[in-house]
Chain A
Amino acid sequence: EAQVTQNPRYLITVTGKKLTVTCSQNMNHEYMSWYRQDPGLGLRQIYYSMNVEVTDKGDVPEGYKVSRKEKRNFPLILESPSPNQTSLYFCASSSLTGGKETQYFGPGTRLLVL
């Protein structure tokens, strides 16, 4: 079954305590990305990766890091979380085959930074 998994699904943490949200896909997709969703601000892209070792900033990369060492995994790292990073985070993967795109999203990670 095609799947994007994210862990943890819910997390409460404190300011400054480093955390990693994992994202894994089982579809051998080249393209992966991270988004955050906030009331009134909608969805915003944080980082994306077009393949292994190829990453680039999205709209709101400040305070986040990513890595793409393997095709299936694309972790999101918050080195020193702050309350303004409290949000709902989505990971996604996609590929383009024969001109048709398929995209899948993870279930979301709800993060609260105190």
Chain B
Amino acid sequence: AQKVTQAQTEISVVEKEDVTLDCVYETRDTTYYLFWYKQPPSGELVFLIRRNSFDEQNEISGRYSWNFQKSTSSFNFTITASQVVDSAVYFCALSGYLGGSEKLVFGKGMKLTVNP
């Protein structure tokens, strides 16, 4: 069965600190996708990234970066120089291709509070 673990449930940092959100996954699929989503206090869901299992290159988008390591089954998300607007709940998710299905499984989410 597929599983996503976000061990940290809540993190609080001060603005300008770097923060890394951990995500560990389990799957038996050889082809799978990993995702990160953001849910700010206003409640909407925002897609941040999708990474496929064949692409282990790290990705950077502005202050956001993602580190995918197949060897440790992790897909960690780092926010550099955090800002108050980064305060949100962040979800990691996994979908596999077992039998052609694209069923998506989420981690429980991690609440990040960035204090001024």
Q: A42-B91, A43-B91 are in contact. Are A59 and B105 (CB under 8 A)?
A: yes
Once the chains bind, are B103 and A103 in contact (CB under 8 Å)? no
Q: A43-B91, A92-B45 are in contact. Are A48 and B102 (CB under 8 A)?
A: yes
Secondary structure of the A contact surface, majority rule: strand
Once the chains bind, are A108 and B101 in contact (CB under 8 Å)? no
A94 at the A/B interface (Cβ < 8 Å)? yes
Q: Give the interface of A toward B (CB within 8 A).
A: 31, 33, 41-45, 48, 50, 56-59, 88, 90, 92, 94, 101-105, 107-108
In the assembly, what is the distance between CA of A94 and CA of B95, in Å?
Answer: 14
List the B side residues contacting A108 at CB < 8 Å: 43-45
Once the chains bind, are A107 and B106 in contact (CB under 8 Å)? no
Can you list, as one digit per residue, whether each of B32-46 has a CB less than 8 Å from chain A (1) or not (0)? Answer: 000001000001111
Q: Smallest CB-CB separation from A105: which chain B residue?
A: B45
B87-116 contacts to A, CB under 8 A, are 91, 93, 101-109
